[in-house]
C-alpha cells in the first residue's frame, strides 16, 4: 500500500474523516450499473459504486494522493477511501468504474458562469467590455433570450461542463426557474442566481421587478433539491444603484441565500464607481452593508490593498476568470496578493460569449501562467495552488466546502475520473503537474455527482446530446439570420 503526500512525495497515513449524514438526491442516472467486477454478484448489502484509479488525488487538507486506490460511494456520499485492494475487500458494489490509466479526483467547481450564453458563443468577439455589453450582448439578449433560449443554452452548457469534469457551477442568468429545471434533470450541482439588474431584461422590467421575481424563484427552489441552491445575482454596481444593491442584500438575507455579483471587473467599473459613488466598488459594498452575508464576487481584477483586506475579513469568495479577463482586456487580477492576504479564491469561466468555452482545465492553466508572467516569477503560483482553486478552495469560496471539493469520507460523491491514455500524459512524473499543465476537457472519462453517474467513458447518461445539438443549431441559425437582417 502506498499513500503518498502531495507532489512533495512525503509518505503519510490517510486519516479518515467525519461522516456527515445525508440522503441521496433525485432524478438522473438511477442506472449506475457499470462494469461489474469479475464473478461478483451484487448482494443486498452492496454499496452503490466503487470508483478506482491509479492515482486518487484527494485534494484534502493534507494533499494526499493514494496510488492504486478506490473511493467507495453509497447513498450519494463518499463512505470510504483507500487502496483498491482495501476497498474491494471491504465492499461489494452494484457498480464499478475500473481504474486502469485513470486519475480519480473531486469534480471541478466553476465559480462564475452564464450557462445559457453558450448560444452566444462567438457572436461578438474582440471588443471592450462596455462596447461588448451595451452594443451587442444586452441588445441581443433583449431580442432573443426567452425561456426556450435559456433551456437550450443551459442544456448545451451542462453537456459541455459534464464533458469537461465540472460538477458544480455558480450561474447568473435569466429565467432561473428554467436553469434550475435543466440542472435538476442533467444531474449537476449548481447555485442558480436570480439576476437583478436595473434595466429591461429578458425576464424583468427593472431592479424592483427582478427582486420580486427572484424571491418567488428562491421560495420555489429553496431546500427542494440538495444539488440546487437558489441565490440572488445582482449584476454589478454599474447596473444597480446603492439603494437597489441594499434592497437585494436585504432580500437575500431574508431568504437566507448567498449573493453572487460582478465585482471590480474593469477599468470602466473602477472609474464609474469613483465618479458615481465617490469610492471604489468594494469600498462601496462595505460602506452600504452589502457584504453583510455570504457573497461571491466574480472577477475582482482591480482591488486596492485596503479592499483586499475587506475581502479577507468579510470572507468574500473571489472567483478568478483569467480567460474572460484576458479576452475583454479587463486586466490581471492580483490573485497571489489576495491568496497571501487570506482571501478565498476560486476559478470560473464566465459566460461562453467572453471565453469562449466552459473549460476549467484551460482556466487552471491560464491562472498559473498569467500570475507567473505578471509577477515575472515562475514560483509565484504552483500547480497545486491552482488545482486547489478549482476544487477544494473553490468549494470554500462559494461556501460549499462542507459538502464538496475534496475526496473525504462524508462529503457528497462529486467525483471525476481523468484518463491518462492520451499521448500528452506520457511520461507521467507528477500527476498534479499533468492535471494543471496538460489535461483538457477531452481527457475526462467519467463524471459522478451526488453518487450518480452523469458520464461513463465519454457516454452521456442524462443528456440527449443529439437533440441538444439539433435545437442549439436551429436556434443559432435564427439568431444569425436576424442579426444579418439588422446589420443590412
Ligand atoms: Zn460574468
* Residue-level pLDDT at 15: 33
Q: What is the rounded distance in angstroms from the CA atom of residue 450 to the CA atom of residue 415?
A: 8
Q: Are strands 64-74 and 3-5 parallel, antiparallel or unpaired?
A: antiparallel
- Signed CA dihedral, 194, 197, 200, 204: sign only: positive
Calculate how far, in angstroms, residue 348's C-alpha sits from the geometric centre of ligand 1: 9
Which residues does 454 contact at the CB level (< 8 Å), separation at least 6? 28, 29, 162, 186, 187, 188, 447, 448, 460, 461, 462
Helix, strand, coil percentages, rounded to 5, for the chain: 40, 25, 40
Calculate how far, in angstroms, residue 260's C-alpha sits from the geometric centre of ligand 1: 10
Which residues does 213 contact at the CB level (< 8 Å), separation at least 6? 194, 203, 204
Cα torsion 419, 420, 422, 426 to 10°: value is 180
Calculate how far, in angstroms, residue 351's C-alpha sits from the geometric centre of ligand 1: 6
Q: How far is CA 444 from the centre of its chain?
A: 16
* Residue-level pLDDT at 397: 98
* Residue-level pLDDT at 95: 97
Calculate how far, in angstroms, residue 362's C-alpha sits from the geometric centre of ligand 1: 17
* Residue-level pLDDT at 9: 34
Q: Give the three cell numbers for residue 100.
A: 486502469
Calculate how far, in angstroms, residue 350's C-alpha sits from the geometric centre of ligand 1: 5
Q: What is the rounded distance in angstroms from the CA atom of residue 468 to the CA atom of residue 453?
A: 19
- Which H or E run contains 259? strand 259-263
Calculate how far, in angstroms, residue 111's C-alpha sits from the geometric centre of ligand 1: 10
Radius of gyration of the chain (CA): 22
SS3 (DSSP) at 347: strand
Calculate how far, in angstroms, residue 79's C-alpha sits from the geometric centre of ligand 1: 36
- In angstroms, the Cα distances linking 188 to 110, 306, 348 are 11, 37, 16
Calculate how far, in angstroms, residue 421's C-alpha sits from the geometric centre of ligand 1: 34
Calculate how far, in angstroms, residue 449's C-alpha sits from the geometric centre of ligand 1: 25
Calculate how far, in angstroms, residue 115's C-alpha sits from the geometric centre of ligand 1: 10
Q: Over the range 195-209, which residues count as b (16 or more CB within 10 Å of their CB) and which as e? A: bbbbeebbbbeebee
The C-alpha cell 475526496 sits at: 407
- In angstroms, the Cα distances linking 129 to 124, 326, 346 are 11, 11, 22
Calculate how far, in angstroms, residue 58's C-alpha sits from the geometric centre of ligand 1: 29
The secondary structure of 365-423, three-state, reads: HHHHHHHHHHHCCCCCCCHHHHHHHHCHHHHHHCCCCCCCCCCCCCCECCEEEEECCCH
Calculate how far, in angstroms, residue 43's C-alpha sits from the geometric centre of ligand 1: 48
Which of 36, 128, 120, 21 lies closest to 74, judged by CA?
21
Calculate how far, in angstroms, residue 204's C-alpha sits from the geometric centre of ligand 1: 19
Calculate how far, in angstroms, residue 112's C-alpha sits from the geometric centre of ligand 1: 6
Calculate how far, in angstroms, residue 261's C-alpha sits from the geometric centre of ligand 1: 8
Calculate how far, in angstroms, residue 298's C-alpha sits from the geometric centre of ligand 1: 7
Per-residue pLDDT of the chain (488 residues; tens, 9 = 90+): 333 333 333 333 333 333 333 333 334 444 444 444 444 555 778 999 999 999 999 999 999 999 999 999 999 999 999 999 999 999 999 999 999 999 999 999 999 999 999 999 988 888 887 888 888 887 778 888 999 999 999 999 999 999 999 999 999 999 999 999 999 999 999 999 999 999 988 899 999 999 999 999 999 999 999 999 999 999 999 999 999 999 999 999 999 999 999 999 999 999 999 999 999 999 999 999 999 999 999 999 999 999 999 999 999 999 999 999 999 899 999 999 999 999 999 999 999 988 999 999 999 999 999 999 999 999 999 999 999 999 999 999 999 999 999 999 999 999 999 999 999 999 999 999 999 999 999 999 999 999 999 999 999 999 999 999 999 999 999 888 887 787 77
Calculate how far, in angstroms, residue 349's C-alpha sits from the geometric centre of ligand 1: 8
Q: Over the range 352-362, which residues count as b (16 or more CB within 10 Å of their CB) and which as e? A: bbbbbbbbbbb
Calculate how far, in angstroms, residue 169's C-alpha sits from the geometric centre of ligand 1: 13
Calculate how far, in angstroms, residue 114's C-alpha sits from the geometric centre of ligand 1: 6
DSSP per residue, 124-191: S-S--HHHHIIIIIHHHHHHH-SHHHHHHHHHHHHHHHHHTTEEEEEEEES-HHHHHHHHHHH--EEE
Calculate how far, in angstroms, residue 262's C-alpha sits from the geometric centre of ligand 1: 6
* Residue-level pLDDT at 41: 52
Calculate how far, in angstroms, residue 353's C-alpha sits from the geometric centre of ligand 1: 10
Calculate how far, in angstroms, residue 221's C-alpha sits from the geometric centre of ligand 1: 23
Calculate how far, in angstroms, residue 386's C-alpha sits from the geometric centre of ligand 1: 20
Calculate how far, in angstroms, residue 113's C-alpha sits from the geometric centre of ligand 1: 6
Calculate how far, in angstroms, residue 464's C-alpha sits from the geometric centre of ligand 1: 27
Calculate how far, in angstroms, residue 30's C-alpha sits from the geometric centre of ligand 1: 33
pTM for this entry: 0.90
Calculate how far, in angstroms, residue 253's C-alpha sits from the geometric centre of ligand 1: 22
Q: Give the three cell numbers for residue 442.
A: 477531452
- Signed CA dihedral, 303, 306, 308, 313: sign only: negative
Amino acid at each position: 500500500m502506498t499513500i503518498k503526500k502531495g507532489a512533495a512525495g512525503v509518505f503519510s497515513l490517510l486519516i479518515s474523516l467525519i461522516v456527515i449524514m445525508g440522503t441521496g438526491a433525485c432524478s438522473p442516472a438511477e442506472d449506475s450499473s457499470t462494469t461489474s467486477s469479475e464473478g461478483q454478484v451484487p448482494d443486498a448489502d452492496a454499496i452503490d459504486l466503487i470508483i478506482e484509479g491509479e492515482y486518487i488525488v484527494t485534494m484534502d487538507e493534507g494533499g494526499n494522493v493514494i496510488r492504486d486506490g478506490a473511493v467507495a460511494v453509497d447513498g450519494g456520499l463518499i463512505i470510504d477511501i483507500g487502496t483498491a485492494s482495501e476497498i474491494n475487500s471491504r465492499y461489494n458494489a452494484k457498480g464499478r468504474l475500473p481504474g486502469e490509466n485513470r486519475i480519480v479526483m473531486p469534480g471541478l467547481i466553476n465559480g462564475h458562469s452564464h450557462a445559457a450564453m453558450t448560444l452566444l458563443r462567438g457572436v461578438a468577439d474582440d471588443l471592450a467590455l462596455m462596447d461588448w455589453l451595451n452594443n451587442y450582448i444586452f441588445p441581443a439578449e433583449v431580442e432573443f433570450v426567452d425561456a426556450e433560449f435559456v433551456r437550450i443554452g443551459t442544456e448545451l452548457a451542462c453537456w459541455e461542463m459534464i464533458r469537461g469534469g465540472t460538477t458544480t457551477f455558480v450561474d447568473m442568468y435569466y429565467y432561473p426557474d428554467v436553469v434550475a429545471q435543466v440542472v435538476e434533470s442533467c444531474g449537476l450541482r449548481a447555485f442558480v442566481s436570480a439576476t437583478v439588474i436595473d434595466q429591461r431584461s429578458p425576464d424583468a422590467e427593472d431592479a424592483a421587478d427582478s427582486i420580486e421575481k427572484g424571491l418567488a424563484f428562491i421560495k420555489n427552489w429553496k431546500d427542494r433539491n440538495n444539488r440546487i441552491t437558489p441565490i440572488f445575482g445582482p449584476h454589478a454596481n454599474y447596473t444597480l444603484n446603492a439603494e437597489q444593491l441594499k434592497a437585494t442584500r436585504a432580500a437575500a438575507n431574508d431568504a437566507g441565500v448567498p449573493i453572487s455579483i460582478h465585482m471590480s471587473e474593469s477599468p470602466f467599473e473602477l472609474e464609474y464607481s469613483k465618479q458615481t459613488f465617490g469610492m471604489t466598488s468594494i469600498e462601496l459594498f462595505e460602506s452600504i452593508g452589502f457584504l453583510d452575508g455570504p457573497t461571491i464576487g466574480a472577477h475582482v481584477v482591480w482591488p486596492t490593498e485596503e479592499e483586499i483586506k475587506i475581502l479577507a475579513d468579510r470572507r468574500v469568495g473571489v472567483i478568478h476568470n483569467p480567460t474572460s479577463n484576458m479576452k475583454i482586456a479587463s486586466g490581471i487580477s492580483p490573485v497571489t496578493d489576495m491568496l497571501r492576504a487570506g482571501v478565498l479564491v476560486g476559478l470560473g469561466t464566465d459566460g461562453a460569449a467572453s471565453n469562449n468555452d466552459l473549460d476549467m482545465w484551460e482556466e487552471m492553466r491560464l491562472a498559473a501562467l498569467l500570475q507567473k508572467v505578471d509577477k515575472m516569477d515562475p514560483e509565484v503560483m504552483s500547480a497545486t495552488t491552482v488545482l486547489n482553486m478549482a476544487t477544494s478552495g473553490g468549494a470554500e469560496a462559494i461556501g460549499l466546502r462542507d459538502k464538496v471539493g475534496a475526496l473525504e469520507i462524508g462529503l457528497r460523491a462529486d467525483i471525476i475520473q481523468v484518463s491518462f491514455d492520451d499521448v500528452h500524459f506520457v511520461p507521467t512524473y507528477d500527476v498534479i503537474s499533468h492535471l494543471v499543465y496538460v489535461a483538457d476537457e477531452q481527457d475526462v472519462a467519467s463524471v459522478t455527482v451526488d453518487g450518480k453517474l452523469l458520464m461513463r467513458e465519454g457516454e452521456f447518461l442524462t443528456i440527449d446530446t443529439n437533440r441538444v445539438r439539433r435545437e442549439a443549431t436551429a436556434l443559432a441559425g435564427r439568431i444569425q439570420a436576424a442579426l444579418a437582417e439588422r446589420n443590412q
